[in-house]
Amino acid sequence: MGLCQSTRSHHLTHGPIFDAYEAVRQRLPAAGPGGACTHARDLSDIADLYDVFLLDAFGVLNIGETAITGAPERIADLQAAGKRVLVVSNAAGFPHHLLMEKYARLGFDFAPDDVITSRKALLAALTGTTDHWGVMANPALGREDLETLALDFLEDDPATYDKAAGFLLIGSGIWTEHRQGLLEASLRNNPRPVHVGNPDIAAPREAGPSQEPGHWAHQLADNTGVEPVFHGKPYRSIYDLAFAQLGNTPGTRAVMVGDSLHTDILGGQTGGTATALIVSHGLLRDAEPASAIAASGIKPDHVLVTT
């Protein structure tokens, strides 16, 4: 059996996060033909094949507030070899300067413009809007990057939901089932646009996976019939921002590196790059990658043990 095949039963090798993504495949981009799933140890094994490396953050660079062992050194080696390295992340919940401080603290050296987030993709899509938005985010993080938008943070007052012209689901760190109920009730009574700044359903953290805005967005779509607009991986707009930063579309000399089949690998296929799946960290750490690849039909070009 190859890495893209497995004889084991799917339910024995896939966790609830994988199943959650599979349950919403109708809202995700279609998978491309995929790659050969060739096995490699880490990024150094494929460095000669590519000029541009697009890196997911959670599960590739870090788990929560901890850098993955060896990742800062391998990224520095790529940069020293003249490779163009960009972070392409669905970390919409944090102001950009906080992400930059975090990466520096963890030992990474990225230029601010080389960190492309779904927060940037969302804001690019809303350029020029004059609507008043209700925003899922942590008010304690402030309004940095959001200054041009008219908005209220969604908390526990139903009136805030009802007066919004639409909703932005950016960060769910302090979101609750009660607030989700208020949002869904308001949408059922008066359907309005919903934009999702982080399509992730979950993200790997030290204490276990978190529920991200994508989780709540798919739930409200199922419960209200309002179909959200997603910004970030696996959707194309975030790759357009990355390619604009590069100055052109890199084609076959670029590779998207991530730990999620349904966001990173599917996203790379949507963006037209090669793909590399990390299997020792992140979403597939406790799964059997070959079985997950076969069950999803999302086939990366490379399967890497680690970053």
* 213 in any annotated domain: yes
Q: How far apart are CA 44 and CA 93, in angstroms?
A: 31
Residues 145 and 134 placed together within one structural domain of the fold: yes
pLDDT score for 9: 33
Mean pLDDT, residues 268-289 taken together: 89
| pLDDT per position as a tens digit, 226-266 | 999 999 999 999 999 999 999 987 777 999 999 999 999 99
- End-to-end, the C-alpha distance of the chain in Å comes to 24
Residue 112 C-beta-side C-alpha neighbours within 13 Å: 6
Residues 125 and 226 placed together within one structural domain of the fold: yes
DSSP class of residue 58 equals: B
pLDDT band at 210; cut points 50, 70, 90:
confident
Whole domain around residue 24: which residue ranges?
10-118+249-263+274-304
Report the chain's mean pLDDT, rounded to a whole number.
92
Environment class of 271 (CB within 10 Å of its CB; exposed 0-12, middle 13-18, buried 19+): buried
Residue 112, CA distances (Å) to 3, 32, 90, 104, 296 in order: 36, 31, 16, 11, 34
Is residue 184 within 8 A of residue 156, CB to CB? The reply is no
**CATH number, domain at 221?**
3.40.50.1000
pLDDT reading at 53 higher than 90: yes
* 96 in any annotated domain: yes
Residues 106 and 135 placed together within one structural domain of the fold: no
* 205 in any annotated domain: yes
Residues 17 and 110 placed together within one structural domain of the fold: yes
pLDDT score for 31: 96
| pLDDT per position as a tens digit, 146-200 | 999 999 999 999 999 999 999 999 999 999 999 999 999 999 999 999 999 999 9
* 39 in any annotated domain: yes
Cα–Cα nearest to 232, from 204, 205, 270:
270
* 237 in any annotated domain: no
Residues 44 and 69 placed together within one structural domain of the fold: yes
pLDDT score for 202: 86
* 268 in any annotated domain: no
Number of domains in the chain: 2
For residue 62, count other CB atoms closer than 10 A to its CB: 24
* 4 in any annotated domain: no
Amino acid at 198: N
* 51 in any annotated domain: yes
Residues 132 and 32 placed together within one structural domain of the fold: no
**What radius of gyration do the chain's Cα atoms show?**
19
Residues 214 and 148 placed together within one structural domain of the fold: yes
Residues 130 and 224 placed together within one structural domain of the fold: yes
Residues 48 and 136 placed together within one structural domain of the fold: no
pLDDT reading at 115 higher than 50: yes
Note the pTM of the prediction, 2 decimals: 0.92
Is residue 277 within 8 A of residue 284, CB to CB? The reply is yes
